[in-house]
Structure formats: structure tokens, C-alpha cells
Structure 1
Amino acid sequence: MTILNIVSTVSRTGMQSAWMAWEGLFDQITKIRSVSVTQYGICKLVVRKHLGNSIACDNGYYIHAGDCVGELHLDNRKMLELSRTNGADRTALMTARMLRKSLEQISYAMEHNPELRDVKALTGITLLHRGIIHGLGFEQHPIQSKWIRVWMTFYLRFLLRVLHPVGRQRVKQSSSKLVPMMLMMSRQSLIHRFRKEVQS
């Protein structure tokens, strides 16, 4: 390993540590601003009120302003641990499997946990919608607000560069494809899909 590679690795590790410290603070702020925050496997489920325009789901259900939604956030600390011990391709496969398991747990909680009875849908914003959500049942919706779209593009690309094993390369080589999208799955669709998987 060259001196340049060593310096790059040390710098990257320092950035990752700084990011995790910031996330710890942000998690505390999120808990104060949200109805609830619960961990399900590799996902954090942040329950809050939907703001903005109504969103039509593919199955005919609508999410209106003021409705409770569950925002999905990948646990970046766990993601970082995976990326440090596995290659990029293996990390992606493991993440997809763990995400499916988390959705099974959330589906069960939706049916049995009274605290989640008002949650109308799961939502999330991600750059990795092309691969990581394949077969999970999420709908994809463009982000309507220009300013939110610009901010999320900057934020998520920076996060990818810091945490992903080959994130810097991916941002440089595929920036035109790394466009954030809103993911959506109604409560009914979630339970219908994952209840069958849990029972099978």
C-alpha cells in the first residue's frame, strides 16, 4: 500500500467517524421531532406527519398532509460495519436481504403494535432505488420540490462517498443515474405482501 493510499484510508476513516458522531446527535433531534423512532433490523422507522401535497399510491390509496407515515432510514452505522468487512457487491446483497427481513418485522408490527395503527404508508428517499429495492414492492415517485431534490441529491451523494466502499467511484462514474427518488408503500400493500412471506 502506497503512502497516498494510507493517507486516503486514514482520511476516509476519520470522515466516517465524524459522520457517525453527527448521526448520533441527529438521532436525538429526530426523536424529539417525531412521533416515535423504532429499530427494526437494519432499518429505523421514524413515524411523523406527512407534509406537503397529497400522494396517490398505485393501489388507489392517498396519503394526505397530516397523515402519519413511517419514514425508513437505513442504519448507517450497521451499513458502515458491513462495508468495512465485505466487498461492495456482497454488501449490496446482504443489505437487500436484511432490508427484506426488516420489512417483514415492520409488517408484523403494523398489524400488532397499537403505536403503529395510524401509520398509513412507508416512505423513504434514496439514490439506490435501481438495485436495492428490487422485488420489495415499493413504488417510485419523483421528488416534486426542486429545492428538496437538489438538497437530497447533494446530501445522499456525499453520504455515498463517505460510507460506501466504492462510493467515490460510483459518484464520479454514474452521477447521472444517482438521482434521488421517493419510495412509497401503502400500509395495505406492505401487510398483504409480507404477511404471505412470513406465513410461507
Structure 2
Amino acid sequence: MNAGLLQAWRAFDFIYQHMTRLEYVDKENGNIFRVVFCKYHGPDLVTRDGTHISKGDPIVKLHIHNWGLANRLQGINNEARLGLITFRIVKDSLPTLATYIEHHPKGNAVKAVIGTTFLHRGVNRLGFDVHPVPDLLRFRIKNQYLKLILFLIHPNGIKRLKRKPEELVLKRVYISKNHLLNQYGTASQQMEELM
């Protein structure tokens, strides 16, 4: 991606962040997530640990900082390496996300963490469940927006959009707060240090 386009996107991203009330999880240390504490609006979901998520439940809406990700992936031309590095960035950001929610004033009420993304392949290994999004206009718009981002940051650009288009479908990814904290929170980190 050229520097001018990246700077234009950065300006747009700044406006988008303030319009959507996104909070950085840990900007200074490169955490890839931004979040909004809100109520869930969608079909009922059940996580792998049996947590039921219904309309009106308090959740953390999870956003990947796409501009930050694009900036970090600049210059990587190998598609397999691009996927591996993206997966590693997401995985490495989860412990800080868990700590952020655990210590946030609104964190105690949160039932689950939910996001919508193209990056759903392999997230089950990170503890997330995957579910199709409803066929609503806002998700169709977001699907096209994410395709534009992929076109801009992927080394193969338009060729990637044409190859396996069935993979480029927006999905809902979600994990209960309890599962997130058990797998990535302070207690799990202390257990790792003891072993």
C-alpha cells in the first residue's frame, strides 16, 4: 500500500473511531483491538462453554484496528506469511484484551465478546465460536467495506478478491467473558508462570 493512501486511511480511521466511541485496548503497546461496551442486538447465541447471549445482554463489541493491522503488514508479499503473522498478532493481543475487560469499570457486567470479521478461519483455536451474520443491509455494507480493505492491504489485491470468494464472507465471532478470562486472563497467566 502506498504511503499517501495509508495516510488518507489514517485520517478516515481517526474520524471513524470518534464516531463509534471505540476505545483502544492498549494502543501504546500495539494491541490490535479496539472495543465498545454496549448491548447485544442480534439472534440468540450459545458459546462452547454454554453461555447464552440474548438481545439486550451487555457485551464488548470487538473491532480489529484495520489501519494499524495494514500498517504492520506493509511489505509482506507472501500470502501464507501474511496469514500467519495476522493470526499471531490477534493471538498476542488476547491476553491484554482479557485484562482490559477484567479491570474495566463496566467489565463485571459483560457477558461476552463479539465481533464481525472476515478473519474467522482458525479462530476456534483461539476459543471463539463462529456464526453467520443476519442478512441485513448494514452487514452487506460492512462486507463490501472489508473487501475494499483487503484489496488495499493484500499483496495480490484484486486477484485475492477473485480467488475463493466464498471465504470472504462476514461472520460473527464470539467468546464468553468467562472463557476469555479463563484462557487469557490474569489467572491463566499466573498458571503458565508456575508451570
For Structure 1 versus Structure 2, the TM-score category normalised by the shorter chain is 0.7 to 0.9
1:48 aligns with 2:38: yes
Question: Counterpart in 2 of 1:39?
Answer: 25
Mean CA deviation greater in 149-158 or 137-146? 149-158
Q: TM-score, normalised by structure 2?
A: 0.82
Post-superposition CA distance 1:104-132 (Å, at most 9, x none): 1122233333332222111111112124x
**RMSD of aligned C-alpha atoms?**
2.3
User: CA contact under 8 A between 1:16 and 1:162: conserved in structure 2?
Assistant: no
Aligned equivalents of 2:59, 2:68: Cα separation in 1? 24
Q: Percent identity?
A: 28
1:114 aligns with 2:108: no
Q: TM-score, normalised by structure 1?
A: 0.80
Larger Rg: 1
What is the Cα deviation at residue 75 of structure 1?
1.6
Aligned equivalents of 1:192, 1:167: Cα separation in 2? 38
2:156 maps to a residue whose letter is V
What is the Cα deviation at residue 18 of structure 1?
2.6
2:100 maps to a residue whose letter is A
What is the Cα deviation at residue 59 of structure 1?
2.4
Aligned equivalents of 1:90, 1:134: Cα separation in 2? 20
Aligned equivalents of 2:101, 2:5: Cα separation in 1? 37
- 1:167 and 1:197, CA in 2 relative to 1: closer, same or farther beyond 3 A? farther
1:62 aligns with 2:52: yes
Mean CA deviation greater in 72-81 or 117-126? 72-81
Runs of 4+ deviating beyond 6 Å: none
What 5-or-longer segments of structure 2 have no aligned partner? none
Aligned equivalents of 2:141, 2:20: Cα separation in 1? 18
